[in-house]
Amino acid sequence: MERSDFISLVSAPAQLAFEKYHIYASITIAQAILESGFGNFIPRDPATGRISYNIFGIKGVGPAGSVHVETKEYLQGTWVTKTQEFKAYNSFLESIEDHSQILLTPRYKTVIQATTPFQAAQHLKLAGYATDPEYAEKLQKLIEAYNLTQYDQKKAPSEEFVATWKLEVGRRALAEGIITSPEWLNDLDKPMPVWAVLAVALRVYDKCCEGK
């Protein structure tokens, strides 16, 4: 996934969380980037390849169950590999909402009270959100590099939000092989002719036959 595409996918629901909870959208987006590698390392079920939509690396069982994957964590001065259970969600929106609920707990009170996203990043580190000793600095660099503070505006991104989730549907269809060209993503809002509907339906049929 292109970096700009990933930011487009998560920016609208991140702004929605800022509107509802005063969690800086720039922090939410930066954490999603850092934890998921711009959406390229989202935990997947190793057996089926089912995506978990877990863009924050949150452990446990989620609304859509869980997936088990190997991860690296910084423990007692060294990086170690462990098999972890990660929450699975039905969408990025659901993942961001769960992330927001975690930050609303008393442990992260100072993160919510922060007056700048950079201050919030430091408070995340102090509260022990991640084991990486450079976690706050990495968030700050991402915020600056991609101008993420532009999303720290209290507004309800209604139309943009709809467009974002249309893009997510299109990108998932591309990833699963239901559509075969990225050019389809430019036509998500256009009425689809019958031949195009049939082409997609036949592609799904072919994939089902391949699995038999």
The set of catalytic residues is: 73, 98
Contact at 8 Å (CB) between 58 and 86?
A: yes
Q: Is 4 exposed, middle or buried (0-12, 13-18, 19+ CB in 10 A)?
A: exposed
Rounded CA gap, 77 and 132, in Å? 10
Stated as kind and residue range, the H or E segment containing 95 is: helix 92-103
Contact at 8 Å (CB) between 178 and 203?
A: yes
Rounded CA gap, 70 and 84, in Å? 6
Backbone angles phi, psi at 177, to 5 degrees: 85, 10
Q: Is 23 exposed, middle or buried (0-12, 13-18, 19+ CB in 10 A)?
A: buried
- For residue 44, the SS3 value is strand
Amino acid identity of residue 182, one-letter, is P
Contact at 8 Å (CB) between 98 and 66?
A: no
Rounded CA gap, 68 and 159, in Å? 36
